[in-house]
Chain A
Amino acid sequence: MLKIVDLKAFLVACLATLFTLAMILIGSRSLQNFDAALVAYLFGTLFAVFGIVYRYTVWVQRPPTRVYFLSSIKILFSKDGLHFLWYSFKDFVLNILFQRFIMRRSKSRGLAHLLMATGCILAFCITIPLTFGWIHFTLVPASGMDPTAPKIYTAHFFGYAIMNFPVKSIIGFLTFGALNWCSILVIIGATYFLQKRLKDPGLIATQTFEGDLLPLLLLIMVSITGLGLTLDYEFMHGKAYEFMAVTHAFFVIVFLIWMPFGKFFHIIQRPAQIGAHIYKEVGRQQGMQICRFTQREYTTKRHVHDLKKITAQTGFKLENKEGESILDYSPEGKRDLLAIAHFKARKESGEFFG
């Protein structure tokens, strides 16, 4: 059992969960502002924190991931740190917030993913502080006393009053309806991908139910049941509230528990792309590697150097006795080497075509 569990990752995940618990106690003023109705969500979120941190820690310890992780940290704390901090910020806005790389694959696909991602991230930003009791709303007593006066709410963050706003105002409409807007964004995006996965022969051939279809169905179910809560109290006088609340909680908790294991973990992994970009940029400044066969540049010297280390750490001996490595050749150079070796073998056999 101990061999299966990564002790270092387990310890880091435990610390992260304890830290989150401490922040919940501080942010909710010793649970004073904690909404007991959200306790099931709280446990789901804590499990997700533990699972995500555990998997992330295991992941960054893998030889290829460690190279990018450590070099990004090293670069950010070097004398060029400020330059690359700005570079990371720009990259974050372009590729993580606006997802340019997906947009380039296809505009409709990019837009659908952007809607889905925006909906999910906004929903996380709203629900997590609400669940932790970091944000809560109170009615200004004076406005509640007078039935004719507009109802004024106060938003609190970490127990501090941040602002007052009337319920029936644009801010009120956006604030209390924010999760509905998120749901609509997610439903549009996820439905686009679902219909694509049901029609595209290439995707049909390679997808799996649990890896590709279930995440989309789960997102749609979380969103629909979330919208159902609003529809219920707005139009059905709360008649189905218990049913809607339980089904919504069920799908959200399944989502949270599954987050560290399934497709949703890519949300956590994606920022590593920035690390890969920084690594490439720094490598370029340090010099390019020339292919031994084609005599053309193909990647950075740093990349080849690190790949030699990574392949050795993962158990591959790609060097010959003279110290020459196949990694000293570009992809085209390697294909040429194979063709030359094949030609030579055929020639030596006395027949070019067998």
Chain B
Amino acid sequence: MAQYYQLQEEFFVDMQRCIGCKACEAACAECETNGQEAMIHVNYVDRSTTIQTTVQVCMHCEDPVCANVCPADAISKDEFGIVHTANTSRCIGCSNCVMACPFGVPKKMEEYDLMMKCNMCYDRTSVGKKPMCATVCPSGALFYGTREEMQTKRPNSTPINTFLFGEETVKTKVNLMMPKGSKELRVL
């Protein structure tokens, strides 16, 4: 399995390119690890003033807040940097992770009393395939490939993986495409 994660393929998100088509949502629900539930988020930013939409996958933080605030030790990060969805036998459905994630990623499935989240289509990426959402995105908001491929496609952008929330610096496995030369993005 490790061989596939050594291919240097990475996830690149450019929510500025999101057109809100929700093709990624439909594809995400096909992921074998989600049980027919879409884990990707697509929503209007402020529908009353703009048509801007945003798309959000799990950013797979280096030091995940979600795992740190979990009272049941249900969230784990593996050796490849993938932060996995809640362990079903441990999750107690408290929503700590849902409310603490600075990117607003985990979903609380109220009916199942369980948190679920994107695990970068582990069933696919662990065998060298691309995540479902990245295979169907028509506008290039979601891309999974090598840095070289991304550089060729977006020569005027720089991938960053450092985000500032208050005084906290969050580093992620997933990259965000920013204006060329950017080093980080301050969110709050």
Residues of A at the B interface (CB closer than 8 Å) are: 59, 62, 64-65, 67-68, 95, 101-102, 104-105, 200-202, 204-206, 263, 266, 269-270, 272-273, 275-276, 279-280, 298-299, 303-304, 307, 310-311, 314-321, 324-327, 329-343, 345-346, 348-349, 351-354
Contact = CB atoms under 8 A, between A and B. Distances in A.
Interface string B29-66: 00111110000010101100000111010000000010
A36 to B, nearest CB: 36
Given A276-B93, A335-B54, A105 B68 contact: no
Given A266-B90, A318-B168, A327-B99, 11 more contacts: A101-B114, A206-B84, A263-B89, A266-B89, A319-B167, A320-B188, A331-B98, A342-B15, A343-B45, A352-B16, A353-B17
Contacts of A206: 33, 84, 119, 122-123
A326 B65 CA distance: 12
Contact of A318 (B106, B126, B166): B166
A95 B177 CA distance: 44
Contacts of A101: 93, 112-114
B83 interface: no
A138 B41 CA distance: 65
B167 A317 contact: yes
A341 B186 contact: yes
A200 B32 contact: yes
A272 B95 contact: no
A111 to B, nearest CB: 16
Contact of B56 (A68, A320, A338): A338
B27 interface: no
A298 B99 contact: yes
A324 B92 contact: no
B73 interface: yes
A354 B141 CA distance: 12
A324 B188 contact: yes
Contact of B45 (A59, A105, A200, A340): A340
Interface residues of B, number: 71
Contacts of B94: 68, 276, 279-280
Nearest to B88: A105
Nearest to A263: B89
A354 B154 contact: yes
A193 to B, nearest CB: 11
| Secondary structure of the B contact surface, majority rule | loop
Interface of B: 14-17, 31-35, 41, 43, 45-46, 52-54, 56, 65, 68-73, 84, 88-90, 92-96, 98-106, 111-114, 119, 122-123, 126-127, 154-158, 163, 165-168, 176-180, 182, 185-188
Contacts of B31: 202
Nearest 6 CB-CB pairs, A to B?
Answer: A354-B157, A349-B179, A331-B104, A339-B54, A205-B123, A202-B32
A342 B178 contact: yes
Nearest to A337: B187
Say what secondary structure dominates the interface of chain A. Answer: helix
A316 B169 CA distance: 9
A345 B104 contact: no
B179 A343 contact: no
Contacts of B96: 64, 303, 307, 310
Contacts of B53: 339
A16 to B, nearest CB: 21
A21 to B, nearest CB: 30
A269 B91 CA distance: 9
A352 B34 CA distance: 33
